[in-house]
Structure 1
Amino acid sequence: MEYDGSGFSGWQRLNKPGEPGRRDEPTVQAALEQALSFVAGEAVEVVCAGRTDAGVHAAAQVVHFDGPARRDPRGWVLGTTSRLPPAICVRWCVPVADDFHARFCARARRYRYSILNRPVRPALQRQYLSWERRPLDADAMHRAAQALVGEHDFSAFRTVHCQAPHARRDLQHIDVSRAGEVVTIEVQANAFLHHMVRNIVGSLLPVGRGERPEGWVGELLTGRDRTAAGPTAPSAGLVFLGPRYPAQWGLPAEVEL
């Protein structure tokens, strides 16, 4: 599925159906489950490949659920999308083996962060772009980011609210490039910590502005001190490009390793 996260309080349902509390805050999971339940004719709960924060978008979020009713894939796609708000759609649906799990079977996850780098803030596409008015050296940011590649303790780039049992992650690839006025950071890892990508971006920006040397990012990684790193970058520029799975699951090529 794909969604524009601008109007949602993130992916995760904030309370179970019928419970009091934060039920008035819209989430992508709650909207999807409501739409699927209508098509199925009974309650459906879903599991996603990677939870996204408030304001973060997704181009290929993968979700699994146990279908209580028989519908062909086209019926699930069109029927569910017809019950979703305009900011969310189901792009494809395929049957999978009983032991497939959207989260645990994924071997990698990919994100893209986009920054409009010009003196004036954006008007068009502003919900998909962060903005930096000072000139950025994308090449320096790219070189600095390579210190993060590999399996490391990413404590310097996790939020204090992160609930992961440990901070070790395998960052497989990170690339910083410029196309005209837009600087793009693309990153792939086996998994991510809470706010990890946005905190990495926030620490690359001082390097791009020339305020910090390229080696500073590697020093932050080694120091494991979140308070020493850069601020968390805004959510608007972040898109979850999707997970990647082994070919054995028979999923579309865009989410295969």
Structure 2
Amino acid sequence: MKNYKIRLQYDGTRYDGWQKQGNTKNTIQGKLEEVCSRMLGEAVEIHGSGRTDAGVHAAGQVANFKSERAMKPEEMLRYLNAYLPQDIAVLSVEEAPERFHSRLLATSKEYRYRVWNSPIPNVFERRFVYQDARSFSTEAMQKAAAYCLGEHDFQSFSSVKRSKKSTVRTLRHLDVERMGDEIRFTLEGNGFLYNMVRILVGTLLEVGEGRRQPESIPWIFEQKNREVAGFTAPPQGLTLMQVHYKV
């Protein structure tokens, strides 16, 4: 049994998210499993590092699958890119250790959220940015972001109402920078809850607009209540950039 690690990118605009679902065949995982199964002549189960939501993109998603059939990685790479839809691309294929698991062994993930802060649409990037023409204070958002760093219970920043699993995560980086008409949020953490990045961004935007104070962030953490945090920023501005591993 061979274990293969793949790195891929996709434009998530027209997909119902990463995870295969019973009510739709239009998922990234579903498309990959379909093509991989045809390539190897056997049923293939793909394990992704994380489940990106509908409309969310990836520049560096990582996944793995096992197969009884030995096939050269370079042959797999050619086959997959020949038969996958044009908005999904496999960047690399390699044999991995038998125990490698793309989700369980990930040490951190990096996301980027892009806001197009202009009344004039960015025609060529419109599928990858959230357009919001309101006036935002970058300085206020940077100050608020500093309160989010480190280990916290991020329950207030998750759309999951109740969960037996821990909602404590460690956020290592949360950078806010302005690049012309674009405001870019870069986040790296050891794990992210459902909608966590988009709620964090929505909350910071409300700070930037002056609807909240940067000093309100610790209070939001303390409440452990989704309703006290900001809005959920739209999916199209979000991209999974990288997944990190120890080896």
Give the shorter-chain TM-score range. over 0.9
Alignment equivalent of 2:10, drawn from 3, 28, 43: 3
Name the residue aligned to 2:114: 114
2:123 partner SS: coil
CA distance in structure 1 between the aligned counterparts of 2:166 and 2:136, rounded to whole angstroms:
33
1:121–1:133 CA contact under 8 A, matched in 2: no
Tell me the TM-score normalized by structure 1: 0.90
Q: Could you tell me how far 1:218 is from its partner in structure 2? A: 2.5
Q: Equivalent residues in 2 for 1:67-78 (5 A)?
A: 67-78=67-78
Q: Equivalent residues in 2 for 1:216-231 (5 A)?
A: 216-231=216-231
Alignment equivalent of 1:12, drawn from 8, 19, 41: 19
Name the residue aligned to 1:193: 193
Name the residue aligned to 1:42: 42
Identity of aligned residues (%): 36
1:69 partner SS: coil
Q: Which moved more, 1:190-199 or 1:121-130?
A: 121-130
Residue deviations 1:160-182 (CA, integer Å, cap 9, x gap): 35756121111111100011000
Q: CA RMSD in A?
A: 1.3
Q: Which has the higher strand share?
A: 2
Q: Could you tell me how far 1:110 is from its partner in structure 2? A: 0.8
2:214 partner SS: coil
1:144–1:218 CA contact under 8 A, matched in 2: no
1:5 partner SS: coil
Name the residue aligned to 2:125: 125
Please, which runs of 5 or more residues in structure 2 have no aligned partner?
A: 1-7
CA distance in structure 1 between the aligned counterparts of 2:162 and 2:84, rounded to whole angstroms:
30
Name the residue aligned to 2:3: none
Residue deviations 1:148-200 (CA, integer Å, cap 9, x gap): 11111001100035756121111111100011000000001101000000000
Name the amino acid aligned to 2:74.
R
Name the residue aligned to 1:165: 165
CA distance in structure 2 between the aligned counterparts of 1:132 and 1:168, rounded to whole angstroms:
30
CA distance in structure 1 between the aligned counterparts of 2:50 and 2:74, rounded to whole angstroms:
24
CA distance in structure 2 between the aligned counterparts of 1:225 and 1:88, rounded to whole angstroms:
36
Tell me the TM-score normalized by structure 2: 0.93
CA distance in structure 2 between the aligned counterparts of 1:63 and 1:243, rounded to whole angstroms:
10
CA distance in structure 1 between the aligned counterparts of 2:225 and 2:135, rounded to whole angstroms:
27
1:111–1:238 CA contact under 8 A, matched in 2: yes
Name the residue aligned to 1:66: 66
